[in-house]
A and B are shown apart, each in its own frame.
Chain A
Amino acid sequence: MELIFEKSVSGRTGVRVPLSDVPKAAPLADAVRRRDPVRLPEVGELDLVRHYTNLSRRNFSVDTNFYPLGSCTMKYNTKVTENAGGLFASCHPMLALLPGGDKLVQGPLAIVYELERQLAEITGMEEVTTQPLAGAHGEMTGIMVIAAYHKARGDQKRKYVIVPDSSHGTNPASAAMAGYEIVTIPTAPYGDMDLDLFRQAMSDEVAAVMLTCPNTLGLFNPHIAEICAIAHEGGALTYYDGANLNAILGKVRPGDVGFDVIHVNLHKTFGTPHGGGGPGSGPIGVRGDLVRFLPTPRVVRRGDGSYGVEDHPEGIGRVSDFFGNFGIMARAYAYITLLGREGLIEVSEQAVLNANYMMARLKEEYELPFDQTCMHECVFSASRQLEHGVHAIDVAKYLIDRGFHPPTVYFPLNVKEAIMIEPTETESKQTMDAFIEVMLEAARMAKENPERLHQAPVTTPVGRLDETRAARMQQVCCE
């Protein structure tokens, strides 16, 4: 399809700019004036609407296709929460920071406050801040809180953060951005971080250990309480990557287990849409004695029931401009309120049921490196298919031809040819059965006609794209 810039016709106009009701001002001084107009496309409104409508049709999405992308919790995004989230469009955030302005924005402040309380209850933490703008941003904020804690105790020698090799890439990246060196612990044959190696790595130079639970293999690590105890004994804090919270709502609360800091991804567990890559929202929760280090400002509930905004002088400062991705937070608040206690418990139960069903039906044909009850997702390896020269990516591309968004492939990094499937609770058995049939068909094809898999996809507007060429050309905008 042509680019919008290629559809531009000089002199054609789209939307009309309002007429001026004030006199034209004297021109801006030459030294600070832009020389040439911004070269934006000149298209009529219909051209514009067709262009982006037709572009959208070149996407797979949850609303059009089953999208079992592991680690991303691509559940159905309820429409009523979309409506609810849009109600605050005209609310200027600066109002809340003006003297006396808080009384004008009681509604949104109440949502921030109540969502923080809901998330604190769900995770078992003392308090929550919604300021971080995505999961990774939450991780970095959490590690900054941990750094502030050690510093306040005069404990300056801790310079390492421990992560398992199966952790999401954002974990080590976030800890590095907060100034730490990374120690990576391999996965043991039983599928979790190797406990002995972890014990050996612990020292009084370790600031924190970051764990994902269920881990990125979709397995619940039964040793998490022990890991917390070992870390705490050595003076380190424990960080819980809550990206996989969809598996344990109402079942486990990381705070109860002994975790000190957690982030949750509202765009995963709490049903907010993924937006083609974002926006997300990554609130963090902390245990009681870490509350004072949370970012400033805090939304508080006063004695008279009204809400206010307060500075948080001992905190780590600001990590984003205002109160976080509020529109996303409002959707998550609406989602939690809509589903309620029982609805959220049902979410995890059905998510885990669906994943185990998927696992049970596919393990005949696909190698299951860790054959045990999984939580909300399961991780296969295409190692058997590889014997016929078929890679995980070939299976993925074939799924596209059959109308399914592929699972996550090649993650986690500790599984060769990984295929990570997360069906989520909002999919029916019938949808999963259809997907399973195609996965089994691909496994058969790997043996009988691998060429077909190598050629896939053939039904899409473009076939497999030359990524090496893209990296070499570095053509990232049109001339």
Chain B
Amino acid sequence: MGYCPNTPDDIRDMLAVIGAASVEELFAPIPADLRAKSFDLPPGMSELELMRLMREKAASCGADITPFIGGGIYDHFIPAAVDHLSSRAEFYTAYTPYQPECAQGTLQALYEYQTTICRLTGMEASNASLYDGGTAVAEAALMSLRITDRHKVILDGSVNPLHREIVTGYLHGLSAEAVAVAPDGCASDLAHLMAAIDDETAAVIVQSPNFFGSVQDFRELAQKAHDHEALLIVSCYPIAMGLVASPGEMGADIAVGEGQSLGNPLSFGGPYFGFIATRKRFIRNLPGRIVGETVDHQGRRGFVLTLQAREQHIKRHKATSNICSNQSLCALRGLIFCASLGEKGFGELAQLNYDKAQYAKSVLGAVRGVDLLNDGATFNEFTLALPKDAAEVVQRLLDQGVAAGVPLGQYYPGMERALVVTVTEKRTKDEIDRLAALLEEVLWS
């Protein structure tokens, strides 16, 4: 029942060695008045019955909906090799590589992952993963407080609102301040962000592409932050890195993001992984595990967990973060995804996302009464202004089997008619055209 292999004979022999009369006797250290008052669970079942039950649940999970939704999580294709290789039990049934000699598989893979993240983001040092995109932004904010010994971060309103909520929660406990700067339309309000930076500012946090899909140049913002010895934190969408300037190119000091789009299935919200990378001089302030290269006594190259004196198991309450288990297996998937595509393929994939979104922009923007709200460049998401309440439109289109986008009203009061539409490489021209036709119908008939 509990996958316990010991036979009654084994159990008898073991009890004899222990010197106990029964298994129950081993629970004698638990005082009687502390015993469970209830344990009301149904009896177990067979594999067959379990899978029947689980399939029933999986039948109602929106699998037949065509998604034009993103919001930080994207419906990208996943090469078959990603599933096959990450399903190797030697990877997925191991744990944290504390004993490096028998964990070189995990350690080398994580080192390759760190390299991949550095190359994507244009940074010099990555850790071995964080929980998710939102907590990665929060960890970056905390990191900037430590580096600058200041207590204020400036949080751009065009950063993913779910992530902003997490950041604010993390900062709240530490009595640090998050100064919100509202976006200007669909773009970061660079003038106001720059005006908000002063000598108390630890960091400015922006996102590229932002929640509205806009892509902006943050070089001037980086300069202004650096003039005040503050940091620039850029949260980025890794697939976009095949086409859009990286945080490193824009002068960021810390790059973070949600890694889901790199080979991790949607899976109703997780598991995914967060990534964080920085300049080499800030490496000791990174949260979480880091894998480093070294050699054994014979000079053979090997990999180990390094700079552990930052971490909770050594530093306890003085650690750079409380994170212990991270999202290694998801990071491994991210690595294999990137390596499957390679340099050329990754660029092509980004270009394809861009081309499809540009096409969608043109046909959706041509629907009567619909306007495009982004002023400048976008990657694979953009924001439409509808002539009606966007939430209502989305709800009606869901009945037609299409998730048309994320209505902005719930996150940006006053933007009730705005809709963020996402177009990945998986959306076909036919699906895009159908969305345009359905939108026309819902708006005007």
Q: Is the CB of B332 within 8 A of A276?
A: yes
Chain B residues within 8 Å of A396, by CB: 99
> 8 Å CB contacts to A: which residues of B50-107?
50-51, 53-63, 65, 67, 69-73, 75, 77, 79, 81, 84-85, 88-106
Flag B169-202 by CB within 8 Å of A: 1 or 0 each. 1101111000000000000000000000000000
Alpha-carbon distance between A94 and B73 when the two chains are bound, in angstroms: 8
Q: Say whether B14 faces chain A, with CB atoms less than 8 Å apart.
A: yes
Contacts A77-B93, A465-B101, A470-B292 given; does A52 touch B85 at CB 8 Å: yes
CB distance from B7 to the nearest CB of A (A): 8
Q: Is the CB of B352 within 8 A of A18?
A: yes
CB-nearest residue of chain A relative to B335? Answer: A4
Q: Say whether A200 faces chain B, with CB atoms less than 8 Å apart.
A: no
Flag A1-23 by CB within 8 Å of B: 1 or 0 each. 10111001000111111101111
CB distance from B321 to the nearest CB of A (A): 7
Q: Is the CB of A317 within 8 A of B342?
A: no
Alpha-carbon distance between A97 and B50 when the two chains are bound, in angstroms: 28
Q: Is the CB of A25 within 8 A of B355?
A: yes
Alpha-carbon distance between A251 and B27 when the two chains are bound, in angstroms: 8
Q: Is the CB of B328 within 8 A of A277?
A: yes
Chain B residues within 8 Å of A21, by CB: 428-429
Chain A residues within 8 Å of B394, by CB: 98-100
Q: Say whether A434 faces chain B, with CB atoms less than 8 Å apart.
A: no
Q: Is the CB of A256 within 8 A of B34?
A: yes
Question: Which residue in A34, A100, A274 is a CB contact (below 8 Å) of B242?
Answer: A34
Q: Say whether B323 faces chain A, with CB atoms less than 8 Å apart.
A: yes
CB distance from A306 to the nearest CB of B (A): 10
Q: Is the CB of B135 within 8 A of A91?
A: no
Q: Say whether A80 faces chain B, with CB atoms less than 8 Å apart.
A: yes
> 8 Å CB contacts to A: which residues of B418-445?
425, 428-429, 432
Q: Is the CB of B63 within 8 A of A90?
A: yes
Chain A residues within 8 Å of B96, by CB: 72, 274, 276-277
Contacts A37-B343, A461-B104 given; does A275 touch B26 at CB 8 Å: no
Chain B residues within 8 Å of A251, by CB: 27, 30, 35-36
Q: Is the CB of A99 within 8 A of B352?
A: no
Q: Say whether B21 faces chain A, with CB atoms less than 8 Å apart.
A: no
CB distance from B348 to the nearest CB of A (A): 4
Chain B residues within 8 Å of A136, by CB: 312, 322-325
Q: Is the CB of B131 within 8 A of A465?
A: no
Q: Say whether A45 faces chain B, with CB atoms less than 8 Å apart.
A: yes
Q: Say whether A127 faces chain B, with CB atoms less than 8 Å apart.
A: no
Chain B residues within 8 Å of A230, by CB: none
Alpha-carbon distance between A5 and B174 when the two chains are bound, in angstroms: 41
Q: Say whether B207 faces chain A, with CB atoms less than 8 Å apart.
A: no
Q: Is the CB of A278 within 8 A of B325?
A: yes
CB distance from A159 to the nearest CB of B (A): 11
Question: Which residue in B18, B45, B57 is a CB contact (below 8 Å) of A356?
Answer: B18
Q: Is the CB of B270 within 8 A of A327?
A: yes
Q: Is the CB of B44 within 8 A of A340?
A: yes
Question: Which residue in B37, B97, B111, B115 is a CB contact (below 8 Å) of A124?
Answer: B37
Q: Is the CB of B269 within 8 A of A471?
A: no
Q: Say whether A419 faces chain B, with CB atoms less than 8 Å apart.
A: no
Segment at the B interface, from A105-113, A284-292, A380-388, A438-446? A105-113
Chain B residues within 8 Å of A477, by CB: 111, 114-115, 117-119, 124-126
Q: Is the CB of A338 within 8 A of B50?
A: yes
Q: Say whether A43 faces chain B, with CB atoms less than 8 Å apart.
A: yes
Alpha-carbon distance between A177 and B135 when the two chains are bound, in angstroms: 13
Residue with the highest number of chain A CB atoms closer than 10 Å, among B217, B244, B304:
B304
CB distance from A229 to the nearest CB of B (A): 12
Residue with the highest number of chain B CB atoms closer than 10 Å, among A16, A83, A147, A274:
A274
> 8 Å CB contacts to A: which residues of B201-243?
215-217, 241-243
Chain A residues within 8 Å of B90, by CB: 56-57, 59-61, 63-64
CB-nearest residue of chain B relative to A328? Answer: B271
Flag B20-50 by CB within 8 Å of A: 1 or 0 each. 1001101111110111111111111101001
Q: Say whether A369 faces chain B, with CB atoms less than 8 Å apart.
A: no
Q: Say whether A133 faces chain B, with CB atoms less than 8 Å apart.
A: yes
Flag A444-479 by CB within 8 Å of B: 1 or 0 each. 000000000000010011111111011101111110
Q: Say whether A339 faces chain B, with CB atoms less than 8 Å apart.
A: yes
Contacts A251-B35, A267-B325, A352-B26 given; does A32 touch B242 at CB 8 Å: no
Chain A residues within 8 Å of B328, by CB: 275-279
Alpha-carbon distance between A406 and B377 when the two chains are bound, in angstroms: 54
Q: Is the CB of A100 within 8 A of B343?
A: no
Alpha-carbon distance between A230 and B175 when the two chains are bound, in angstroms: 29
Q: Is the CB of A107 within 8 A of B30?
A: no
Alpha-carbon distance between A37 and B395 when the two chains are bound, in angstroms: 40
Chain B residues within 8 Å of A460, by CB: 101-102, 104
Alpha-carbon distance between A349 and B14 when the two chains are bound, in angstroms: 13
CB-nearest residue of chain A relative to B356? Answer: A22
Q: Is the CB of A32 within 8 A of B245?
A: yes
Flag B325-347 by CB within 8 Å of A: 1 or 0 each. 11111101001101111111111
Q: Say whether A342 faces chain B, with CB atoms less than 8 Å apart.
A: yes
Q: Say whether A195 faces chain B, with CB atoms less than 8 Å apart.
A: no
Contacts A59-B104, A178-B173, A338-B44 given; does A107 touch B109 at CB 8 Å: no
Flag A167-180 by CB within 8 Å of B: 1 or 0 each. 01110111111110
Contacts A17-B345, A17-B352, A279-B325 given; does A124 touch B38 at CB 8 Å: yes
Q: Say whether B376 faces chain A, with CB atoms less than 8 Å apart.
A: yes
Question: Which residue in B11, B93, B425 is a CB contact (below 8 Å) of A274?
Answer: B93
Flag B122-166 by CB within 8 Å of A: 1 or 0 each. 001110110111110000001000000000000000000011011
Question: Which residue in A20, A89, A107, A353 is a CB contact (below 8 Å) of B6?
Answer: A353
> 8 Å CB contacts to B: which residues of A261-293?
265, 267, 273-281
Q: Is the CB of B403 within 8 A of A340?
A: no
CB-nearest residue of chain A relative to B50? Answer: A338
Q: Say whether B414 faces chain A, with CB atoms less than 8 Å apart.
A: no
Alpha-carbon distance between A316 and B19 when the two chains are bound, in angstroms: 50
Q: Is the CB of A317 within 8 A of B169?
A: yes
CB-nearest residue of chain B relative to A456? Answer: B101
Contacts A5-B115, A32-B245, A466-B296 given; does A48 touch B340 at CB 8 Å: yes
Residue with the highest number of chain B CB atoms closer than 10 Å, among A61, A76, A124:
A61
Contacts A20-B355, A64-B89, A345-B39 given; does A350 touch B2 at CB 8 Å: yes
Residue with the highest number of chain B CB atoms closer than 10 Å, among A250, A276, A323:
A276
Q: Say whether A302 faces chain B, with CB atoms less than 8 Å apart.
A: no
Contacts A280-B325, A326-B270, A341-B43 given; does A99 touch B104 at CB 8 Å: no
Question: Which residue in A57, A59, A88 is a CB contact (below 8 Å) of B267?
Answer: A88
Contacts A108-B57, A173-B312, A400-B101 given; does A279 touch B95 at CB 8 Å: no
Question: Which residue in B13, B131, B399 is a CB contact (below 8 Å) of A137?
Answer: B131
> 8 Å CB contacts to B: which residues of A157-212?
168-170, 172-179, 181-182
Alpha-carbon distance between A349 and B319 when the two chains are bound, in angstroms: 36
Alpha-carbon distance between A428 and B23 when the two chains are bound, in angstroms: 16
Q: Is the CB of B38 within 8 A of A253?
A: yes
Q: Say whether B367 faces chain A, with CB atoms less than 8 Å apart.
A: no
Question: Which residue in B117, B120, B306 is a CB contact (below 8 Å) of A471?
Answer: B306
Contacts A133-B135, A276-B332 given; does A122 touch B41 at CB 8 Å: yes
Q: Is the CB of A41 within 8 A of B101?
A: no
Chain A residues within 8 Å of B30, by CB: 220, 222, 248, 251-252
CB distance from A334 to the nearest CB of B (A): 6
List 11 A–B pairs whose Cβ atoms lie within 8 Å, in order of A's numbering.
Answer: A13-B342, A32-B377, A59-B105, A94-B67, A176-B319, A277-B96, A279-B329, A319-B135, A320-B131, A340-B1, A345-B2
Q: A319-B166, A353-B15 are in contact. List 17 more A-B contacts (CB 8 A).
A: A15-B345, A24-B355, A37-B343, A48-B81, A52-B88, A64-B93, A65-B102, A84-B50, A88-B58, A94-B73, A176-B322, A279-B330, A324-B269, A326-B268, A340-B45, A349-B26, A473-B292
**Top 9 closest A-B pairs, CB basis?**
A340-B44, A322-B269, A275-B329, A25-B358, A93-B269, A277-B328, A279-B271, A107-B57, A63-B89
